[in-house]
Chains A and B, each alone.
Chain A
Amino acid sequence: MPKITINGKELEFENGMTVLQACELADVEIPRFCYHEKLSIAGNCRMCLVEMEKSPKPIASCAMPATEGMNIKTNTKLVEKARKGVMEFLLANHPLDCPVCDQGGECDLQDQSLYYGFDKSRFSENKRAVRDKYMGPLIKTQMTRCIHCTRCIRFATEVAGVPEIGAIGRGENMEITTYLEKSMESELSANVIDLCPVGALTSKPYAFEARPWELKKTESIDVMDAVGSNIRIDTYGWEVKRILPRLNNEINEEWISDKTRYACDGLLKQRLDEPFIRKNEKLIKSSWDEALELITEKIQNTRPEKIAGHVGDLVSLENIFSFKNFLTDLKIENFEFRERETYLNGSDKINYLFNSSIKGIEESDLILLIGCNPRHEATMVNARIRKVYANRKIPVYSIGNPGDLTYEYNIIGETTAELRDIIKGQNSFSKKLLSSKKPLVIIGESALELNSGAYIFEEVKEFLKENNFINDNWNALNILTKNASTVGAIELKFFNVKESNNFMFFDKLKNNEFKLVYLLGSDNLKFEKKDTFVIYQGSHGDRGAEIADVILPSPAYTEQNGLYINLEGRVQECRKASYPPGNSLEDWKIFNLILEKLKKEVKSKNYQKIKELTLRNVINFTQLDALPKVKFNNSKKKENDFINEKIEIKKIDYYFSNSIARASKTMSDCRTVVNKQLKNGTIS
């Protein structure tokens, strides 16, 4: 490896590194504004100047490739003077409004001016003032503070794939804006707030809410989709003030989606804080005793086969586990987690995971989407696909029309007939697929929901297996699940499936066989309520609570510890950041209380025990946060009849997909803006 000398210390670096990266290897911190690891290099802030031997002037280390034998000095008088000069120019037009600026306390400019700033200003002219720009309901702008690092522009064009931010004018009149000040139409837009090194782009919903040092920070996991983005929850008292991304190169890199970030104000609204009982068509506040009494009475008076349990989209592994134990203790065999009749083959672990892993997307050389819209179903997966597309221009194909995915793709067809032709080698695409080395086939829930869902899944799996695309090194079979609880529920076998019938639960539901339905945080299950007694246990007064006869309040995902398995099969821990309002009780405690009332034995009485037992039930569990070891069984292929039908990708109401998001004002603002744009025809 080549060698570089930094401040007299010689060290090895990898080819292709810049001087700045080499300096970081040597533990030398270089101040910077425009440089960012995940974005292209701009080299326009000049803050990272260092001295290089044989160079008459300081060099911008972020843009200079490191070469063999370079001698870099970062602690000389010249470097300090140069950086001070740069800082003075940056501060010439930067307002001194730190006390009223939301970035205060976590501002790069503020921090670095501590070391390189001048205590007095020599700039006696008028400072430049720039009119604020509108960038949508999430981004608050204060453009006078902008130092033109262009990180936001690069993020929008490179990572988000929506080239809408740009720099207009020139020289002193340069301004950052979106085209004609329209709202940025990306699910990743709010990441520019984190990227902005100054207070030019700040968070609109969080404006003037708190100072960073007042907040309690908890590292946790997001549950808005099945990706399981790593997040940091910032709380002030019991209020979740904001959610920020946590670096995890395996999953979300440094970004999170807008829903992950801003649905948190939904945690303060529409909360269920007391048990409710429906009396005369009205939900009346009641006590725990009263509510539990009614439930035990109903359970005792209903035969177990007439009772059903359904788990919602945000429920943690432990709660699913306790719920299942609770139901089996009462000899109830009807339970399900699916919201619609989606084909499910839970016999093998690879049948429901995103097997290539999110990071693995970067290795692939061809991507085929079958009935899925990754942009809305798993935003971070889409960002990763876009990353490979942007870096290597790998071809992306789709069966079904998902709309704008922020990258180019070819639609092969929109019916199952095209899929059959590909599998049988009758489509010209088959050759391309077979000649690729590491293809990626992503099957969405929209495809599995079709009548031919079983055919699509089993045939694709068989096809990949036959062509050796499922082996120890590469697994091309990927299922894109939508909900945070889905993989966990499959893993804990929380479903009713028989060889002959995949949708037993739904058939019984349709025939109105259930007299008592216990909904655990389940808001998206559609069924006709006739004489059914409905128990809803959850955090938000949403669709589930609306139809309920008894409501039991339980904490939301930020208010209790819980494990979640993401779509790759990674078990991750969601930590308690605040406490629930009112008289909520943890889900597993509620089950224990009911069991006690029913005079049944309570097996696990503390959380640690439940967690331990839950993990024991996860197939092949090794450790938290790691990719699962998946062994591939050579099980027999099931024969399924081909049905020719259109693969329609179900549009999901992105900003309103779960009960927390539906309670959030910020999400509803975003939704209004998007719907308006859809109406105008500015987006399709």
Chain B
Amino acid sequence: MKPKIVYKNQPESFKFSEKNLEIAENILKKYPKERKKSAVMPLLYLAQRQNENWIPLAAMKYIAKYLSIPYISVYEVATFYSMYNLSPVGKYFVQVCTTSPCLLRGANQIVEICKSNISPNQNEVSKNKLCSWTEVECLGACVNAPMMQINDSYYEDLDKENTNKIIKSLLEDKPLKSGSYRNRKNTAPENSNNLNGGKIA
């Protein structure tokens, strides 16, 4: 994984919206008062949600002040975790899993499709600003490999053909539905509705 690059054109300021401020206060309630700095991760995620799926420096400063911790502490956390985006991503943010099981099932083909259709490099927004992609480590859906995550949904059991279709649909701003592309129901075997081979744990 490449180190994260902090975006150059940063917005001047950041503030939680009223709704998010309420959520933030509820998050704080989960932690003892003297340990409120533990809330840095959910708050960063909240900020990312509010700001088109990426965290500007202003938001980090805002959160640092909100939790009364040093700026660098927030910065350290934000740069450590791969799920925090520090530069803008497309409206559709494609995360392609390239860990061993997916790779064995052809994840590199998906990467190639992303490269040719969205942008030649990771973390670059496509020409029409709708889409961006990145390689990620295991997303925990190895049974349905290869797969990719687009925003909050998993697209599973992919191959060259349907990946092409999905990516094109994203670029046209008419995303196809998520889920298995071999008509499997969740992790159930093909042509069967039984999860875990019929035994429900």
Q: Residues of A at under 8 Å CB distance from B?
A: 157, 163-171, 173, 175, 178-180
Contacts and interface: CB of A to CB of B under 8 A. Distances in A.
Contacts of A165: 72
B72 A169 contact: no
Given A168-B80, A173-B3, A180 B57 contact: yes
B66 interface: no
A166 B72 contact: yes
Contacts of B71: 164, 179
B177 to A, nearest CB: 35
B76 interface: yes
Nearest to B82: A170
Contacts of A163: 70, 72-73
B168 interface: no
B76 to A, nearest CB: 5
A96 B72 CA distance: 31
A169 B73 contact: no
A50 to B, nearest CB: 31
Nearest to A163: B70
Nearest to A178: B72
Nearest to A156: B72
A163 B76 CA distance: 12
B200 interface: no
Contacts of B80: 168-170
B7 interface: no
17 contacts: A163-B73, A164-B71, A166-B72, A166-B73, A166-B75, A168-B75, A168-B76, A168-B80, A169-B4, A169-B79, A170-B80, A171-B1, A173-B2, A173-B3, A175-B3, A179-B70, A179-B72
Nearest to B72: A166
* Chain B residues touching A, range: 10 to 19
* Majority SS at the chain B contact face: helix
Given A173-B1, A180-B57, A168 B73 contact: no
Contacts of B76: 166-168
Interface in B56-104: 57, 70-73, 75-76, 79-80
A163 B74 CA distance: 11
A148 to B, nearest CB: 13
A427 to B, nearest CB: 28
Contacts of A173: 1-3
B13 to A, nearest CB: 14
A164 B79 CA distance: 15
Interface string B1-21: 111100000000000000000
The list of the 7 closest CB pairs from A to B, nearest first, reads: A166-B72, A163-B70, A168-B79, A173-B3, A179-B72, A166-B76, A179-B71
Given A165-B72, A170-B79, 16 more contacts: A163-B72, A164-B71, A166-B72, A166-B73, A166-B75, A167-B76, A168-B76, A168-B80, A169-B3, A169-B4, A170-B80, A173-B2, A175-B3, A178-B72, A179-B71, A180-B75
A75 to B, nearest CB: 39
A164 B57 contact: no
Contacts of A179: 70-72, 75
A165 B73 CA distance: 9
Contacts of A180: 57, 75
Interface in B1-52: 1-4
